[in-house]
A and B are shown apart, each in its own frame.
Chain A
Amino acid sequence: MTDLSALQLVWFILIAVLWIGYLTLEGFDFGVGMLLPILGRAKTTDPTDIADAERRKRVMLNTIGPVWDGNEVWVLTAGGATFAAFPQWYATLFSGFYLALALILVALILRGMGLDYRHKVNDDTWRKRWDLAITGGSFLAALLWGVGLTNIVYGTPIKPNPAVAGDYIFDGTLLTLLGPVPLLGGLTFVALFLTHGAFFIALKTDGPIRHEARALGIRAGLVSAVLAVALLLLIGLKHGSLVFWIGTAVAAVALLAGIAMAAKAREGWAFIGTFAAIAFAVVAYFGALFPNAMPSTLGDANSLTLAAASSTPTTLTIMTWAAAIFTPIVLVYTGWTYWVFRKRLAVHHIPEPVAIH
């Protein structure tokens, strides 16, 4: 079980694609959530300013309103596909990163509830609480996905389970996951998603918020560029491969180009820049991971390889057919949804709050 079959390679790539889908799409949702208190801050305590700030918050939330739930499905699909295509990877990873994942779940629950419930009652306290859930949940989820994924790639104490043949276990605790490089990974994800979210708002809104978002995105983008370069160099020194370095180079160029485009007020291109930067950062991550599913810090022989983690050819074949038929369909209707809601939003599009108090 050392050689990787073509089917296993296909599924490794498909899981990378699902993560690209998740992080490029939910990445800007997280960014919007984190930017809520920043771009939606009232400049003075004047009631007019406070009312205006509330309308700006609602503009931001409505840019992601129709799509955030669909964006989140990408991670469910990534989870399901990992379970089906690499069950040992799913088993070792999810049990190993137990508390970190539980925290991610809490963050996603709070954020999702906030998005769904915030507008349902016209009450300041109600809104404030859900704002906290949205912003806190978005920040925590972005940070922890960064920490988690960087841990997978950078390596964790993985070893074969002496008690169960074929099983691999994570020999550590929550603290094991909080090493400097994974923490840098978390911060990089946060900065990147802030940038991505800001460019998304700049692209999807009109009025003062559009310009504020763009300016903020440029600053956040420069911070992300510094963080990302440091992070990818640290990972590359340990796990560099051709695919990793190509992914890193393209991601870096895309991010800088995106920032430059934002500076020229080309918002569409700026967003494409951060989109590509995130996508190619995932390519770099998966390039560094290959041919392991979870490299071990306890010596190469202990690493969980993709081949050892994989399902049978029977399962992979069935899954390949399903993916080949249904992924294009999903992409078509997802793309169509973005087209339906393509118009920019401004404060004058925001209706009165609901009459429920």
Chain B
Amino acid sequence: MNALDLARWQFAITTVYHFLFVPITIGLTALIAVMQTFWHRGGDERWLRLTKFFGKLFMINFALGLVTGIVQEFQFGMNWSLYSRFVGDIFGAPLAFEALLAFFLESTFLGLWIFGWDRLPKRIHLASIWLVHLGTVFSAFFILAANSFMQNPVGYTFNPTTNRAELSDFLAVLTNEVQLVTFPHVLMGAYMTAGGFLMGIALYHLRRQALDHGPDVSMYRKAVRLGAIVSLVASLGVIVSGDVQGKVMTTYQPMKMAAAEALYETRSNAPFSVLTIGGLDGASARPIIEVPGLLSFLGTGSFSGEIKGINDLQAAYAGKYGSAALTQSASYVPTIWLTYWNFRLMMGAGFVTMFFAALALWKTRGDGVVTGGMWKHIAIWTPLLPVFANSFGWIFTEVGRQPWIVNGMMTTASGVSSTVGASSVLISMVIFTLLYGALAVVEVKLLLRYIKPGAVPVAAPIDPADRTDDAPLVFAY
């Protein structure tokens, strides 16, 4: 493997890993804020217990998202220095905005929320968690604006004197058509993920309480229903935004759309295969279930619409891009099996989560509880499936963009750091992979330890006005 391959692997590992924690962070801050608001408004102690319980789980998850996020910010320059210098004038600004507008807000108010239960007036303490959530939303917006530039570069001109792309219209970068559909898609995905997280963990406890006739059935039912409703509504948002995204993708990244279906020949009324056996090389594929015209519909909004095939696109791109150093590539076709299967796994995981959410809502209506052994499995899978769906979606999006680092403008191969040797990348990759692996084990074990006791009764927060200076801290490291 050369430095380029290693740098690509490193980006894949660090980014997929980082993004395991991000959607839970975004979505769960909102859900915790909602639960705390319920408690604040109605005084129902059950919501306070749930707030504190999921607050602890949130912090265990957030720690990893935080520390792995620093790597994200640095690795563009470390592994992709030619990319960074070429597009930094455009790409750097959203990252700086993200730090200035989002990271400070998130970190500062999270500190206030965690340590501030007995230091801040109730109202301000509640506002803190909402501000943390706002920070995560800002963060998502800016980083997706940066990513959308890579999918569909807009608002720039090439300057031959400086030999780089330069910003001409920042508003165009922020309102990139790809960004306008990706941002809601990712945000809804995050709410769906957090809804699944809440629902799954609450289902586990609801079942246990129901079987043991425990006192907290109603509390966990509330949590299950909140998680299920959020997950279900958000998944509808995911579907609607994903549908628009498919059409935008067909316009700006037709190769990615063709790669999603392994469609080699241009055709109208293009079918969508749910499953395929055999190779995806265009010759030996054997679709098992095929819906006629569905790919055309996803891509164009009409069952008879034309979808460009991989072969035509490859020929067209070879002619269009084959002569310039930054854009020439032996092939303009992404790794088809990855795009094909990740696209399906993403949707599949999403639909199964939706189904579980609907089922849980139905079972817990009125005084309903869940007791069957099946629910133990559902409780495990509902937090995991949306997390995987996010990963599948991103792997599809990023692999589907290849061989481009910036679509139609610069190949990934021409963006890699020219002076970083394969051994350096390998050393850092091994270190990060081992470290990340070890931390994942610690994190999961810790999460399970904290999930087990459940939302135990808590003391009512002390008003800061009533707090004596010598009282022990309510929360302490």
By a beta-carbon cutoff of 8 Å, the part of chain A in contact with chain B is: 1, 58, 61-62, 65-67, 69-70, 72-73, 75-77, 79-85, 87-88, 90-96, 98-99, 101-102, 105-106, 108-110, 112-113, 115-121, 161, 163-167, 169-171, 311-312, 314-315, 318-319, 322-323, 326-327, 330, 333-334, 337, 340-341, 343, 345, 348-351, 355-356
Stretch at the interface among B43-51, B89-97, B236-244, B332-340: B89-97
* Contacts known (A98-B420, A113-B439, A341-B119); A349 close to B88, Cβ less than 8 A: no
Q: Which residues from B are CB-within-8-Å of A105?
A: 70-71, 74, 432
* Contacts known (A77-B100, A341-B115, A343-B469); A87 close to B88, Cβ less than 8 A: yes
| B96 lies within 8 A of A80 (CB) | yes
Q: In the complex, A319 Cα to B94 Cα: how many Å?
A: 10
Say yes or no for B266: interface residue by CB 8 A criterion: no
Which B residues from 422 to 445 make CB contacts under 8 A with A? 424, 427-428, 431-432, 435, 439, 442
Say yes or no for B366: interface residue by CB 8 A criterion: no
Pick the residue among A79, A87, A350, A351 that contacts B89 (CB under 8 A). Answer: A87
Q: In the complex, A350 Cα to B477 Cα: how many Å?
A: 9
A282 → B minimal CB distance (Å):
18
| B85 lies within 8 A of A116 (CB) | no
A59 → B minimal CB distance (Å):
9
* Contacts known (A73-B104, A96-B419, A109-B67); A120 close to B446, Cβ less than 8 A: yes
| A84 lies within 8 A of B92 (CB) | yes
Q: Which residues from B are CB-within-8-Å of A92?
A: 81, 85
Q: Which residues from A are CB-within-8-Å of B104?
A: 70, 73, 77, 330, 333-334
* Contacts known (A85-B92, A116-B63, A318-B170); A349 close to B470, Cβ less than 8 A: yes
| B59 lies within 8 A of A116 (CB) | yes
Pick the residue among B78, B97, B101, B110 that contacts A95 (CB under 8 A). Answer: B78
Closest to B472 in A: A351
Say yes or no for B449: interface residue by CB 8 A criterion: yes
A81 → B minimal CB distance (Å):
5
Say yes or no for B317: interface residue by CB 8 A criterion: no
| B164 lies within 8 A of A166 (CB) | yes
Known: A67-B108, A70-B111. 5 other contacts (CB 8 A): A65-B476, A80-B95, A84-B96, A112-B67, A118-B477
* Contacts known (A95-B419, A349-B470, A349-B473); A340 close to B120, Cβ less than 8 A: yes
Q: Which residues from A are CB-within-8-Å of B103?
A: 73, 76-77
B210 → A minimal CB distance (Å):
25
| A106 lies within 8 A of B63 (CB) | no
Say yes or no for B204: interface residue by CB 8 A criterion: no
Question: Could you give, for residues 184-218 of chain B, a 1 whenever the CB lies within 8 Å of some chain A CB and a 0 otherwise?
Answer: 00000000000000000000000000000000000
Closest to A57 in B: B477
Say yes or no for B350: interface residue by CB 8 A criterion: no
Pick the residue among A80, A102, A318, A349 that contacts B78 (CB under 8 A). Answer: A102
Closest to B98 in A: A80
Q: Which residues from B are CB-within-8-Å of A349?
A: 470-473, 476
Say yes or no for B418: interface residue by CB 8 A criterion: yes
Q: In the complex, A323 Cα to B99 Cα: how many Å?
A: 11
Q: Which residues from A are CB-within-8-Å of B428?
A: 98-99, 102
Q: Which residues from A are CB-within-8-Å of B99?
A: 73, 76-77, 79-81
Q: In the complex, A315 Cα to B159 Cα: how many Å?
A: 14
Q: In the complex, A191 Cα to B450 Cα: how many Å?
A: 39
| B115 lies within 8 A of A66 (CB) | yes
Say yes or no for B82: interface residue by CB 8 A criterion: yes
| B115 lies within 8 A of A65 (CB) | yes
Pick the residue among B63, B71, B168, B420 that contacts A117 (CB under 8 A). Answer: B63
Which B residues from 131 to 174 make CB contacts under 8 A with A? 159, 162-164, 166-168, 170
Q: Which residues from A are CB-within-8-Å of B442?
A: 113, 117
| A314 lies within 8 A of B111 (CB) | no
A87 → B minimal CB distance (Å):
2
Say yes or no for B312: interface residue by CB 8 A criterion: no
- Which of B91, B97, B427, B469 has the most CB atoms of chain A within a 10 A radius of its CB? B97
Closest to A90 in B: B77
Q: In the complex, A330 Cα to B99 Cα: how many Å?
A: 11
Q: Which residues from A are CB-within-8-Å of B89?
A: 84, 87, 311-312, 314-315
26 A-B residue pairings within 8 Å (CB atoms)? A62-B476, A72-B107, A73-B103, A76-B70, A76-B99, A77-B96, A81-B96, A82-B92, A87-B84, A87-B88, A91-B82, A92-B81, A94-B76, A95-B81, A95-B419, A95-B420, A105-B70, A113-B442, A117-B446, A161-B418, A166-B162, A167-B163, A315-B166, A330-B104, A337-B111, A343-B469
B410 → A minimal CB distance (Å):
12
Q: Which residues from A are CB-within-8-Å of B476?
A: 58, 62, 65, 119, 349-351
Pick the residue among A80, A93, A327, A330 that contacts B92 (CB under 8 A). Answer: A80
Question: Could you give, for residues 437-477 of chain B, a 1 whenever the CB lies within 8 Å of some chain A CB and a 0 otherwise?
Answer: 00100100010011001000000000000000111111011
Q: In the complex, A170 Cα to B71 Cα: how many Å?
A: 21
Q: Which residues from A are CB-within-8-Å of B427?
A: 99, 102
Say yes or no for B384: interface residue by CB 8 A criterion: no
Q: In the complex, A94 Cα to B63 Cα: how many Å?
A: 24
Q: Which residues from B are CB-within-8-Å of A334?
A: 104, 108
Say yes or no for B20: interface residue by CB 8 A criterion: no
Q: Which residues from B are CB-within-8-Å of A106?
A: 431-432, 435
Say yes or no for B179: interface residue by CB 8 A criterion: no
Say yes or no for B116: interface residue by CB 8 A criterion: yes
Q: Which residues from A are CB-within-8-Å of B88?
A: 83-84, 87-88, 90-91, 311
Say yes or no for B5: interface residue by CB 8 A criterion: no
* Contacts known (A58-B476, A87-B92); A98 close to B424, Cβ less than 8 A: yes
Q: Which residues from B are CB-within-8-Å of A62?
A: 473, 476-477
A111 → B minimal CB distance (Å):
9
Pick the residue among A121, A163, A341 that contacts B449 (CB under 8 A). Answer: A121
Which B residues from 404 to 425 make CB contacts under 8 A with A? 417-420, 424
Q: In the complex, A315 Cα to B157 Cα: how many Å?
A: 13
Say yes or no for B64: interface residue by CB 8 A criterion: yes
Closest to B416 in A: A95
| A83 lies within 8 A of B67 (CB) | no
Q: In the complex, A101 Cα to B70 Cα: how many Å?
A: 11
Q: Which residues from A are CB-within-8-Å of B91?
A: 83
Closest to B446 in A: A120
B368 → A minimal CB distance (Å):
32
Q: Which residues from A are CB-within-8-Å of B159?
A: 312
* Contacts known (A91-B84, A109-B435); A79 close to B74, Cβ less than 8 A: yes
Pick the residue among A85, A101, A119 that contacts B477 (CB under 8 A). Answer: A119
A246 → B minimal CB distance (Å):
29
Say yes or no for B358: interface residue by CB 8 A criterion: no
Which B residues from 368 to 420 make CB contacts under 8 A with A? 417-420
Say yes or no for B126: interface residue by CB 8 A criterion: no
Say yes or no for B114: interface residue by CB 8 A criterion: yes
Q: Which residues from B are CB-within-8-Å of A314?
A: 89, 166-168, 170
Q: In the complex, A110 Cα to B439 Cα: how many Å?
A: 9
Say yes or no for B60: interface residue by CB 8 A criterion: yes
